[in-house]
Each structure stands twice: as C-alpha cells, then as structure tokens.
Amino acid sequence: MTAHGPHRSTDSAPHLTRRGLLRAAFAGAGFAALAGCSTPVGAGLANTRLDPGTVDYWNLFGGGDGVRMQQMEDGYRKAHPDTKLQAVTLSWGDPYYTKLSLATVGGKPPNVAVSHLTRMKTLVQAGLLQELHPDDLARHGMTPDKFNQRAWQASLVDGKIYAIPIDTHPFVLFYNTDVCEKAGLLDSNGQLVPIVGEEAFADALTKVKQVTGAYGATHGINADSASCWRLFQTFYSQLEGEVLAENGTEIVLDDAKAKRVLDYLRSLTVEKGLIPVSDYQGAIALFADGKAGFHLNGEWEITTFQTAKMPFSMTLVPNVFGGPHAVQADSHTLVLPVLPGQDRAQLDLSLGFVKSMLDQSDVWAAGGHVPAWQPYASSDAYRQLNPQHSYAAAADTAVYDPPGWYSGSGSVFETIMGSAVGGVESGQFSPDVAIAQIRSKLSVLAKTAPPV
C-alpha cells in the first residue's frame, strides 16, 4: 500500500482544472436551457399566457378518482375537438392549495381548478377566486335549482357564488354482506337493518366480531388524522355539537358532548377490542380480507373494494347518538381563480368546461361520490346505481367542516382534531387529555389574526 502513495499523482490521476470546470458548467447550463424549452416554462419566462383557446385545469385526484377524472377530461376533448385542454393533477391536501394560491397571487392561475368546498371559502376571503354571476352561469344552463341544495347553499359566500359543487362525498359505512348475513344483521332483501343507538352499534360490531374471529369494524387510526376527525365529527354532530364559531375566532367545543363521543370510541377500540388500531391502508386491507365486517371511510374507496372482488355494500353511518342524522362530508367544487385580463370568450370556455364535468356526473357518481347535479341525481340511471345510491341521502344531512381560515379538508384544524381523537382511540391518552390538547392548540389559531 505504501508504495502506491508517492508514485501516483505524477502519472494518471486527473486533476480538477479550471478548463474542465468551465466545460462542466457550460454543459450544465445547456441542459438547463434544453429543459426550459417546453411550452409552459417558455410561456412563464416570456410572461405570456398559454394559447388563449386553451382550458388550463388543475385537480387533486389520485387513485380511482383520478382514473375517472381523466375519463371525463377525455369526454370533454372528444366533445370539443377545437379546444385544447391542459389538465394537471397535483397531490392532495395542503400542497395543492399552496400551489393554487401561489399561482393565483403570481397572476398565472389555471382557468378552472378543483377545490374542496371547505377550503374554497378561505380562497374567497384571500381574494383569489372570481365571483360567478348568475346570468353567466345561466347562459351555460347552470341555475341554482339544478344543484343539491345543501351543497349549493354551503358553497355560497355571503350569498354570492364562487364555486360550482360537483358532488358531496360523505363518510359512509361499508359492510361485508357475507359476514353481516352470518351475523344476522341483514333483512330479507340482503340490506343492512338500520342500526340506531350506542348499544345497538356496539352489539352489531360484537356479533360481527364473533363471525370474523378478529374485529368488528376498521377505520384508519394510526397516522390518519383525517379519518379520525371524520368519524368524530359524524358522531359529535349527531349530538348537535360544534367546534368553531365566528369564522374560527371562537372555540365552542362542548366538552361534555365531546367526552361522550370520545368515551364511546375508546370503549369500541381499547376496552372491547372491536376496532383495531391500524393505519389507513391497514384498515382497508383488514376489511377486504374479511377480518372485519364493517369499514368506516369516505365513499371514494368503493373502487378499491370493487377491485378486490369482495361481497360488500354501503350505507349511511348509523345514527349512534340518536339526534338528527348527521354525517361528516365535504364537496368537490370547480372554481375559477382570479385571472387578470380574462375576456368573455375565455370565461365562456371555462364555464363550458365546468358544465361538461357536470354533464358527465354519471362517470363521477360511479366512483362513489353523490352527484350534486340534479338532472342526473334525480334520474333513474342514478337510482339504479348500486350501492352508490343507497347512501345518497347523506348529501342532505352532510355536515361540513366549520368555516375558519385554518379549517377545511386536509387543514391544520383537521390534523389537530384528528390527532387528539386518534390518541384516544389508540389508548395513548384519556379523553380529558385529548380535549385539553384540542383546546390549547386551537386557541393559538383562534387568537391569531386571520391572514386573509
């Protein structure tokens, strides 16, 4: 080894020379320039818009939703061969809304974008969305009476229209028809007999557990604050409880009601072992494997279970606390971000695209979402769509996340609420600790002056 040391440098070892470095730098710059040639980047550098005849559309749909959305985009392309549709799919949640906001602030928004109804209000307060005028909408056949009223009313901001709801996506109860039949929970038509009350739901889960030999129900608990929040909100709303008021500046959490719900959830998971502590994918896998007879989740997972070719159906989440039926839900809406210098032709192009999405509500509804577009929602075709039609009533008892600049689908608010609920369900802390944690975390946000 020693002998190699002294001889080496003189003969072969390549030195890093200035010329080499420059050459490498130029090569690097060349690559960067090449990468910059594609149209959107070029348009960005030249500060021009894409071709005016283009509909630029952003959405956040992956999985089965993503496949169906592409199908609908293709439907639009086929019907409008002269219009160029440029669709971009971005990852769900905060990253999506961050990009949408930044693009709009920067004056380069898409023409049409998807937004959850509960996130849309903050975008409106931030001044990022165009107000849609009833006569413009009427020109494309979109009048308020043609939408699900709950979703339509919820999407108005101070009585003004900023968003067109395309669906309601409620939390639902999936059930394994084989398992539930053996547990004696089905009626003569093979449908789940409605379950009402705390005892009844726990009993049903116990019976199912005896059949499966493992668990009664599953839902995402570990690292899944969204599912925990959705279940909590569903039950808590059945007690007519609310969390935020005055646009998020006031916390109106009813400790007694929240404790009742948390105690109940804890009894199902920790005490009776009816619901396992698993993560989102694990909860799905256990249900698909028949290790649990019930699965609580958003209806969008229908595609997953259809693909698994298992015997299942879906229904409303049981009214466990006996108040007015209520279920956590949100809606996908289509919005038009503020676009400087938009002319009427471009507006019509965008609204035409929105209408085309509504016209293809059948494709969308097959993916589990309850259609907001009444011409389809009240049609026979939808009535015969099973099991999707069996929980359509959830759209009318939907409870949306409370308004507030830090609230909405996938927001900080949902993370705070869901983390606390998840902690109780997995037995890490007591309901009292969870409530204290919720109060302390939310009060920081409630006190903060809204940035919008």
Partner 1 sequence: MASTTEAVDRIRPAPVPGPARPGRPESHGRSAALFLAPFVVLYVLFIIGPALYGLVMSFFDTSMVKPGLRSFAGFDNYAEALGSSDFWHSLWHTIWFTILTTPPLVVLALVFAILAERVPRGRWFFRLAFFLPYVLPSAVVALIWLFLYTPALGLAGKIVTSVGLTEPNWLGDQNWAMVSLAITTVWWTLGFNFVLYLAGLQEIPRELYEASAIDGAGPWQQIRRVTIPLLGRTTALVVVLQIIASLKVFDQMYIMTDGGPNFSTRSVLQYIYDVGFTSYRTGYAAAASTLFFLVVLAISAVWLMLTRRQSLGWAAKAGGEG
Supply the minimum distance, in Å, between the C-beta of residue 104 and partner 1. 8
13 binds partner 1 (CB under 8 A): yes
Supply the minimum distance, in Å, between the C-beta of residue 43 and partner 1. 22
Q: Is the C-alpha dihedral spanning 350, 356, 358, 361 positive or negative?
A: negative
Binding segment for partner 1 (CB under 8 A), chosen from 4-12, 36-44, 108-116, 344-352, is 4-12
Residue among 4, 19, 309, 344 that touches partner 1 (CB under 8 A): 4
Q: Which helix (H) or strand (E) holds 180?
A: helix 177-182
How far, CA to CA in Å, does 131 sit from each of 17, 126, 157, 160, 339? 60, 13, 10, 7, 11
Sequence-ordered alpha helix ranges (H) in 55-159: 63-79, 94-105, 117-125, 134-139, 149-154
- Residue whose C-alpha is closest to residue 333's, from 304, 373, 362: 373
CA distance 151 to 117: 8
Residue among 57, 61, 76, 97 that touches partner 1 (CB under 8 A): 97
The gap between the terminal CA atoms of the chain, to the nearest Å, is 68
Residue among 102, 156, 193, 381 that touches partner 1 (CB under 8 A): 102
Supply the minimum distance, in Å, between the C-beta of residue 391 and partner 1. 30
CA distance 198 to 385: 31
- Give 448's DSSP letter: S
Residue among 36, 42, 127, 134 that touches partner 1 (CB under 8 A): 127
27 binds partner 1 (CB under 8 A): no
Question: Which residues are registered as beta bridge partners of 55?
Answer: 85
Rounded to the nearest angstrom, the gap between the alpha carbon of residue 172 and the centroid of all alpha carbons in its chain is 14
436 binds partner 1 (CB under 8 A): no
19 binds partner 1 (CB under 8 A): no
103 binds partner 1 (CB under 8 A): no
Supply the minimum distance, in Å, between the C-beta of residue 244 and partner 1. 16
Supply the minimum distance, in Å, between the C-beta of residue 158 and partner 1. 18
106 binds partner 1 (CB under 8 A): no
- Residue whose C-alpha is closest to residue 111's, from 402, 366, 341: 341
- Please check whether residue 331 is in contact with residue 372, taking contact to mean a CB–CB distance below 8 angstroms: yes
34 binds partner 1 (CB under 8 A): no
**CB-nearer residue toward partner 1: 126 or 385:** 126
Per-residue string for binding with partner 1, 382-421, x by CB under 8 A?
-----------------------xx-----x------x--
Q: Which of residues 198-227 bind partner 1 (CB under 8 A)?
A: 222-223
Cα dihedral 237/242/248/253 (nearest 10): -130
**CB-nearer residue toward partner 1: 143 or 428:** 428
Neighbouring C-beta atoms of residue 148, cutoff 10 Å = 23
How far, CA to CA in Å, does 437 sit from each of 230, 416, 428? 18, 9, 13
- Residue whose C-alpha is closest to residue 354's, from 155, 106, 90: 155
Supply the minimum distance, in Å, between the C-beta of residue 387 and partner 1. 31
25 binds partner 1 (CB under 8 A): yes
Per-residue string for binding with partner 1, 277-306, x by CB under 8 A?
--x---------------------------
- Please check whether residue 400 is in contact with residue 120, taking contact to mean a CB–CB distance below 8 angstroms: no
CA distance 235 to 225: 16
Supply the minimum distance, in Å, between the C-beta of residue 5 and partner 1. 4
Residue among 43, 126, 214, 366 that touches partner 1 (CB under 8 A): 126
443 binds partner 1 (CB under 8 A): no
Supply the minimum distance, in Å, between the C-beta of residue 270 and partner 1. 19
Supply the minimum distance, in Å, between the C-beta of residue 100 and partner 1. 11
Supply the minimum distance, in Å, between the C-beta of residue 117 and partner 1. 19
Identity of the residue numbered 363: V
Tokens representing 428 are: 């890490």
Binding segment for partner 1 (CB under 8 A), chosen from 9-17, 255-263, 264-272, 365-373, is 9-17
| 206 contact partners, CB below 8 Å, separation of at least 6 | 216, 272, 274
- Binding residues for partner 1, rule: CB under 8 A, are 1-10, 12-13, 15-16, 21, 25, 28, 94, 97-98, 101-102, 105, 126-128, 222-223, 279, 405-406, 412, 419, 444, 448-449, 451-452
